[in-house]
Amino acid sequence: MGAGRCNAARDCACPRFDTGSEASAPGRVRFARTQILSESLRCIVRRGGEFGDAFYETLFERHPHMAERFGQLDRSGQHAALWAALTTVANTGARPSALVKRMGESHAADGVQPADYRYFIAVLMETLSNFVGDEFTSAMAGAWSEVLNDVSAAMIGAHQAVARS
Whether residue 96 is contained in a domain is answered as: yes
For the chain, 165 residues long, give each residue's pLDDT as a single digit of tens: 333 444 443 444 433 333 344 444 445 455 677 888 888 888 777 776 788 889 999 999 999 988 877 766 677 778 888 888 888 888 776 566 777 788 888 888 888 888 999 999 999 999 999 998 888 889 899 999 988 998 899 889 988 887 777
Nearest to 146 by CA among 16, 26, 9: 26
Burial class (CB in 10 A: 0-12, 13-18, 19+), 51: buried
pLDDT digits (tens, 9 = 90+) for 29-38: 556 778 888 8
Whether residue 73 is contained in a domain is answered as: yes
Residue type, 16: R
CATH number of domain containing 140: 1.10.490.10
Whether residue 2 is contained in a domain is answered as: no
Whether residue 122 is contained in a domain is answered as: yes
Whether residue 127 is contained in a domain is answered as: yes
Question: From CA 153, how far away is CA 165, in angstroms rounded?
Answer: 19
List, in order, residues 6 or more apart from 46 with CB less than 8 Å away.
6, 11, 12
Domain limits for position 88:
8-164
Q: Cβ–Cβ contacts within 10 Å for residue 118, how many?
A: 13
Number of domains in the chain: 1
Whether residue 3 is contained in a domain is answered as: no
Contact by Cβ (8 Å): 130, 54: yes
Nearest to 124 by CA among 65, 35, 62, 48: 62
- 3-state class of 153 per DSSP? helix
Whether residue 1 is contained in a domain is answered as: no
